[in-house]
A and B are shown apart, each in its own frame.
Chain A
């Protein structure tokens, strides 16, 4: 397998290191040894040494959610996400992607989303239509909200309306490239999708990015891949915090006590943890889970549920257990994808809310 020397160094450092064994949300959910950074590194190192074939580890390579908990935990700075993504890229280049991944990639390229969706729900279509006029401010919803959790997308629009904000939402919103980046890393197709999106964003002074996964891609990954946008890109939660500061969004504590599910993209990748807390604290009493902010535990997503539904359900269930184990009964999310994953768990002990739910009541 063609692999950069940098990645080989990380692989060979991680293959015999167990220190982040406790931290992988997938590994903790499945109890499977292969779902650990060291197991993934060992498999790759054995491929590099000709002891096993790349085909034999590819499923395992796609069991990583790239949440970066292992990276965050590593004292030395080794990066399992980096080499996992590089193997995905190499497998794509060598035509060795599993069929179920190929399908998602093809959908991303053809439809702009991994799910192959083309139609928005009626409510969202109407809500977008009301904000079709061009302004300086764009609300970028992202594919998960638009195609998979459209009610939340509608609520995201309503919250801004409630604050009296004038903004634009695109009927034909281009993909951010975040999904392709997850699936095949720094491939040309990923970069092209990112560049096309950046070009659209350039038409706005400020872009509010609703989905933290897109926010991470646009604010961080774009730079890594040499893609630039002139727009001022702000996360949805940071924008809401600003609206509270400016007294445009009025605090109204509804009497709920909640905990907050930090999306890793905000807390670890963008180091943005307090903005969401400011917003939540304006509408509820906020308590903390033991593992919060940079230590957050990923609670699942929609994309991986396409090919690992049972595993993602278990990931989400474990995060809900973290809520009940401290005697709490409501969790607020800032990631539409985590919201959907948590909502998908059949349980009645924990109320799952989005920030928009909290604000709109």
Chain B
């Protein structure tokens, strides 16, 4: 990648970008640049908190559709300028930060809802649509997206696709990669392509899955057909208290061979004693688990009986529906300032996923690695996405502000060290770099450690599609 800017070239490129997206949608103003330099990544927040300015883009452009995106990437390719795609900036991995300068391509003008198709059960929308907006569009016709992450209101459709996001009802309805039909993608050379009209096929590899999770390194997803579902006739909740997590894993594995609840969340003892106590009000020692099951009323009745019978076998104490309902009501409250960890604390979520034979071992290995190497860190976790074969662990480290270096570079070094330690412990025990937040710049260095020679597949795709290396450089380990 060659990237040299001078005043003359800057002015020239600016006029071309303005021509592509309209003057009012192309900015070099400080407020736009700083706004797009800080996402939800702890390091970017810390950097700003210390009064430092993160790396900024030279240009912020907001195209309205694939045609304008195509024009922008063609300009970028010609001048060999980096293009970093920005959805709503709610990512935790620094994936949207323009670390190499160049162009920030903000997708939020591509927020049009083209069609709410209740026959095909999908909404076709621009990927700049905030997911909550397509949920509203679904609700207007009595449907729902069933994609309810804590970032529902602060992330775009494209953001979820780019980082392989997931919502709290994933066990029944799936992850974002299960929720998309056809996609429109702008390749780095400016070509506009469409993935297959339906996702389940034998027409070669699934193009969707090449671009989902690619974090803007292989192209820019500009339009998507997102699945919608009938609203369940009934949604019920049940809270349980397990003496320890081992029983909960056995019970859950058995339950999932019988039916799929929508929500399954198991909290370790530390998180039960902290967040669950604070938000949901459970003041008991043990591991709290919340289960939701939903759908046709008759099915829900049957599922409830299976749930109670199965969990009873493993010694779970039935706490009734109250805590589960409280949790559902407050499920996003956890993430508001005042409830959530925030600067000056240092924190991070090192989510990983593995089959049942490994997941609990991973939890203990990560806990030991963090608490041994960083005694100032607190380690809490919950297990929030479950499959017939395994589950993910959403484990977090928290370091109180008094133990966080004031010097931003020293703080960065500590942050990097904790992450490397935790993720390596996951990898060493059969986990992956990340479950559903993505890789970004935060974890790129660890991708090769997970994939080894398999990384050459990603690298070959990158080299072929983006020979100038302009698309979101230094992300995803590419």
Q: Does the CB pair A16–B343 fall under 8 Å?
A: yes
Say how far B360's CB is from chain A's closest CB, in angstroms: 32
Q: Does the CB pair A75–B90 fall under 8 Å?
A: no
Say how far B262's CB is from chain A's closest CB, in angstroms: 22
| Chain A, residue nearest B113 (CB) | A325
Taking CB atoms and an 8 Å cut-off, the chain A residues in 28-84 that contact chain B are 28, 30-34, 39, 42-43, 45-46, 49-53, 56-57, 59-60, 73-76, 78
User: Among B181-189, B203-211, B332-340, which stretch is in contact with chain A?
Assistant: B332-340
| Chain A, residue nearest B130 (CB) | A22
Q: Does B144 contact A (CB under 8 A)?
A: no
B130: chain A residues at CB < 8 Å are 21-22, 28
Say how far B41's CB is from chain A's closest CB, in angstroms: 10
| Chain A, residue nearest B150 (CB) | A19
Q: Does A20 contact B (CB under 8 A)?
A: yes
Complexed CA–CA distance, A74 and B45 (Å): 20
Q: Does A13 contact B (CB under 8 A)?
A: yes
Q: Does A14 contact B (CB under 8 A)?
A: yes
B32: chain A residues at CB < 8 Å are 32-34
| Chain A, residue nearest B89 (CB) | A33
Q: Does the CB pair A33–B52 fall under 8 Å?
A: no
Q: Does the CB pair A14–B108 fall under 8 Å?
A: no
Q: Does the CB pair B137–A43 fall under 8 Å?
A: no
User: Among B23-31, B193-201, B420-428, which stretch is in contact with chain A?
Assistant: B23-31
Given A18-B88, A22-B132, A22-B153, CB of A51 within 8 Å of CB of B35: no
Contact of A13 among B52, B133, B151, B338 (CB under 8 A): B338
Q: Does the CB pair A18–B136 fall under 8 Å?
A: no
Complexed CA–CA distance, A109 and B61 (Å): 38
Taking CB atoms and an 8 Å cut-off, the chain A residues in 66-124 that contact chain B are 73-76, 78
Complexed CA–CA distance, A265 and B372 (Å): 55
Q: Does A332 contact B (CB under 8 A)?
A: no
Q: Does the CB pair A32–B38 fall under 8 Å?
A: no
Chain A window 1-37, contacts with chain B (Cβ cutoff 8 Å), 1 for yes, 0 for no: 0000000000001111111111100011011111000
What class of interface size applies to chain B in its complex with A? Answer: 35 or more
Q: Does B288 contact A (CB under 8 A)?
A: no
Q: Does the CB pair A31–B62 fall under 8 Å?
A: yes
Complexed CA–CA distance, A20 and B343 (Å): 19
| Chain A, residue nearest B39 (CB) | A18
Contact of B337 among A17, A23, A291, A310 (CB under 8 A): A17
Q: Does the CB pair A42–B38 fall under 8 Å?
A: yes
Complexed CA–CA distance, A290 and B332 (Å): 20
Say how far A19's CB is from chain B's closest CB, in angstroms: 6
B128: chain A residues at CB < 8 Å are 31
Q: Does the CB pair A34–B53 fall under 8 Å?
A: no
Contact of B35 among A42, A74, A325 (CB under 8 A): A42
Contact of B342 among A16, A32, A73, A310 (CB under 8 A): A16
Q: Does the CB pair B48–A34 fall under 8 Å?
A: no
Q: Does the CB pair B111–A21 fall under 8 Å?
A: no
Given A16-B342, A50-B51, CB of A33 within 8 Å of CB of B88: yes
Q: Does the CB pair B338–A76 fall under 8 Å?
A: yes
Q: Does the CB pair B336–A17 fall under 8 Å?
A: yes
Q: Does the CB pair B51–A51 fall under 8 Å?
A: yes
A50: chain B residues at CB < 8 Å are 51
Q: Does the CB pair A34–B35 fall under 8 Å?
A: yes
Given A51-B51, A76-B337, CB of A21 within 8 Å of CB of B88: yes
Taking CB atoms and an 8 Å cut-off, the chain B residues in 107-130 that contact chain A are 108-111, 113, 116, 128, 130
Given A16-B45, A31-B106, A33-B32, CB of A49 within 8 Å of CB of B51: yes
Complexed CA–CA distance, A59 and B106 (Å): 19
Say how far B155's CB is from chain A's closest CB, in angstroms: 8
Given A33-B36, A78-B337, CB of A19 within 8 Å of CB of B153: yes
Complexed CA–CA distance, A14 and B336 (Å): 9
Contact of B31 among A27, A30, A34 (CB under 8 A): A34
Contact of A18 among B31, B60, B133, B151 (CB under 8 A): B151
Q: Does A132 contact B (CB under 8 A)?
A: no
Q: Does B160 contact A (CB under 8 A)?
A: no
Given A56-B29, A60-B31, CB of A326 within 8 Å of CB of B48: no
Contact of A45 among B48, B110, B116, B336 (CB under 8 A): B48
Q: Does the CB pair A21–B154 fall under 8 Å?
A: yes
Q: Identify which of A16, A32, A76, A325 gathers the most chain B CB atoms within 10 Å of its CB.
A: A16
Q: Does the CB pair B336–A75 fall under 8 Å?
A: yes
Q: Does B409 contact A (CB under 8 A)?
A: no
Q: Does B407 contact A (CB under 8 A)?
A: no
Q: Does the CB pair A33–B108 fall under 8 Å?
A: yes
Given A16-B342, A16-B343, A32-B108, CB of A326 within 8 Å of CB of B140: yes
Taking CB atoms and an 8 Å cut-off, the chain B residues in 41-76 that contact chain A are 45, 48-53, 60, 62
Q: Does B456 contact A (CB under 8 A)?
A: no
Complexed CA–CA distance, A60 and B335 (Å): 26
Q: Does B40 contact A (CB under 8 A)?
A: yes
Complexed CA–CA distance, A237 and B136 (Å): 29
Chain A window 174-190, contacts with chain B (Cβ cutoff 8 Å), 1 for yes, 0 for no: 00000000000000000
B34: chain A residues at CB < 8 Å are 42-43, 46, 51-52
Q: Does the CB pair B53–A39 fall under 8 Å?
A: no
B132: chain A residues at CB < 8 Å are 22
B113: chain A residues at CB < 8 Å are 325
Q: Does B139 contact A (CB under 8 A)?
A: yes
Given A22-B132, A33-B86, CB of A43 within 8 Å of CB of B40: no
Q: Can you pick out 7 interface pairs between chain A and chain B where the beta carbons lie within 8 Å of each other?
A: A31-B110, A32-B108, A33-B89, A34-B35, A49-B48, A56-B31, A60-B31
Closest 5 CB pairs of A and B: A18-B154, A31-B109, A49-B51, A31-B108, A21-B154
15 A-B pairs besides A17-B337, A42-B48, A325-B137 with CB distance below 8 A are: A14-B337, A16-B40, A16-B343, A18-B88, A28-B111, A28-B133, A30-B62, A31-B25, A33-B89, A34-B35, A42-B34, A43-B31, A45-B49, A76-B339, A325-B116
B interface residues (Cβ-Cβ under 8 A, vs A): 24-25, 29-32, 34-36, 38, 40, 45, 48-53, 60, 62, 86, 88-90, 106, 108-111, 113, 116, 128, 130, 132-133, 136-137, 139-140, 151, 153-155, 332-333, 335-339, 342-343
